[in-house]
Structure 1
Amino acid sequence: MNNSVLAQIIRSDDTYMPLISLIIYLILWSDINRQEMMLLIYLVISIVFTAVTNVMSFYKMNNLALYHFYTLFETAFLSYYIIKQTANKVNLRWYILGVGVFFVFWLVNIFMWEPLNVYNSNTSCLSYLIVVACCMYYMLQLAKSDKILSFQKQPSFWIVSAFFVFSAASVLVFAVYRYYISLNMLEEAKSVYRIIHLAIVTKFIMLSVGLLCYKRQSSQQLLLL
């Protein structure tokens, strides 16, 4: 195995980490609430997307258009999922309005600032900020409920926290990255961007912990019986 292939495998943590979470999900299938079907869909789509983009990158093909569309999907999908975790019910009118505003910005960004052959840093940053806001709303509502007394046992706490940690880290990394790029400090920019790999690993470890919490809940229920 040559060094370029090995390096590509190491950088493919955005593919094998969600795959690990997916395997855990399937192993615990009978213990996981059916409301987490959205998380299953998210993991499958994430694996397919990152596998395709990594293969395209390996063969020097421009894959940046896919990132534009994935950002649109992730914003709409995760905001709905997290709000549903918070209230079990989503106000569709406000949700459609919010996603609609983001969609308009997404289109404007493509036609005016970052076309499909350029990485969509503007919409990515806004997307991460939206996810962070949704996660903070979840945390606020959790703090007001009785579940706060056993938050570390709540699957939703770990899952939402995974998205929060990754999104918050990504916003900071993009901000510093663009600052270094503006100063033409390319090596420093590349070094900072490597933090994303740590954020990816952390995200899916926390997602996996959240899924394992369902196994713990199922075991406790059996003991009570």
Structure 2
Amino acid sequence: MASFFYIYVGYVVPASTLIPVVAGFIFYDRINKPLRALLIYLCGAFVVNVVATIMALNNQNNLLLLHLYTIFELVTVLFYYLHAFADKRASYWITVIMIAFTLLCILNMFVQTVYRFNTYTRPLEAIIIIVFSGIYLSRQNNVAHRDPTTTSGRWVASGFLVYFCSSLFQFIFSNVVSATVPKNIKLLIWELHATFVLIMYLFFLRAIMNEQRQR
């Protein structure tokens, strides 16, 4: 089971980031601006996954990377929604949240230290993305019946919801799980987490393929 875990979580799922990335660059001229912005998030996620895997293989604590990645992830996901909403009021609040969250994450590095899971800022990040994804879907609910090009945005928002909703409680209790839960249960939790990441990437691939066909 352990060997399967390390191959699946350490190699298969991180490599799966390349599936929507490659599709996005192949069809770059045929996808919309929000999906092009999403590629920034995906490329960054791939690089971070590779670095985290290398550090883990060398028995190095990579939690500092998680603290920094939390900032990158929130900023790039909201950068996607900045283009997806294309609304001045939304743009204002997205910019405010980007700045405030970044400052909060830097402060949290001293509060929780970079050697522990960031169980204050990571769940907050998840909630922010869940809220924006829910708002986007509610706005597009009626439009989608008239405009098929909104379908790609719905796939992306649904992908975010699948991953961040499923991972929220893991983000909250990461330090508790790490310290008290038996190893086999921890492996199962991380395998489930990796599976939801993979599902999210497949949703993004579906969005890219849908968008390029519409054009």
Mark yes or no: TM-score above 0.5. Answer: yes
Q: How many residues align?
A: 212
User: Sequence identity of aligned pairs in percent?
Assistant: 21
Query: Taking structure 1 as reference, are residues 90 and 8 closer, same or farther at Cα in structure 2, changes over 3 Å only?
Result: farther
Name the SS for the 1:154 alignment partner: helix
CA 1:69–1:150 in 2, change beyond 3 Å: closer, same or farther? same
Provide, for residues 32-75 of structure 1, a one-character-per-residue CA deviation record: whole Å limited to 9, x for no partner.
12443212222211111111111111111121111111101111
Alignment partner of 1:128 is 2:126: yes
Alpha-carbon distance in 2 for matches of 1:50, 1:181: 20
Measure, in 2, the Cα distance between the counterparts of 1:86 and 1:30.
20
- CA drift of 1:180 comes to 5.1
Q: Report the more deviating stretch, 97-106 or 155-164.
A: 97-106
Q: Say which SS state the counterpart of residue 120 (structure 1) adopts.
A: coil
Q: What 5-or-longer segments of structure 2 have no aligned partner?
A: none
Q: Residues 117 and 44 (structure 1 numbering): CA distance in 2 closer, same or farther, change over 3 Å?
A: same
Q: Which letter does structure 1 place at the counterpart of 2:206?
A: V
Within 5 Å, which residues of 2 pair with 1:180-191? 184-187=180-183, 188-191=185-188
1:24 and 1:208 in contact (8 A); partners too: yes
Equivalent residues in 2 for 1:22-41 (5 A)?
22-41=21-40
* Partner in structure 2 of residue 163 of structure 1: 160
2:8 aligns with 10
**What is the CA-CA distance between 1:196 and the residue it aligns to?**
0.4
- Supply the RMSD in Å over aligned alpha carbons: 2.6
The TM-score, its normalising length taken from structure 1, stands at 0.81
Are residues 68 and 161 of structure 1, via their aligned partners in 2, closer, same or farther at CA, if it must alter by over 3 Å?
A: same
- SS of the equivalent of 1:62 reads coil
> Shift in Å at residue 93 of structure 1?
3.7
The 2-side partners of 1:32 and 1:62 are apart by 38
Equivalent residue, structure 1, for 2:79: 80
| TM-score normalised per structure 2 | 0.85
Q: 1:173 aligns with which of 157, 170, 174?
A: 170
Q: Which one has a bigger Cα radius of gyration?
A: 1
Per-residue Cα deviation, 1:137-173 (whole angstroms, up to 9, x for no partner)? 1011112x43245669711111121112111111033
How many Å separate the matches in 1 of 2:103 and 2:30? Answer: 40
Listed as ranges, the matches of 1:19-58 within 5 Å are: 19-58=18-57
Q: 1:200 aligns with which of 197, 202, 207?
A: 197
Worse overlay, 72-81 or 93-102: 93-102
Equivalent-residue separation in structure 2 for 1:133 and 1:39 (angstroms):
18
Q: Which amino acid is 1:126 matched to?
A: L
Higher relative contact order (CA 8 A, sep 6+): 2
User: Structure 1 residues 186, 105: CA separation in 2 closer, same or farther (over 3 Å shift)?
Assistant: farther
CA-to-aligned-CA distance 1:117-138 (integer Å, 9 cap, x gap): 2222221111111100110110
Counterpart of 1:30 in 2: which secondary structure? helix
Check whether the contact 1:84–1:90 (CA below 8 A) recurs between aligned residues: no
Contact 2:151 2:207 in 1 (8 A): yes
C-alpha distance in 1 between matches for 2:83 and 2:61: 35
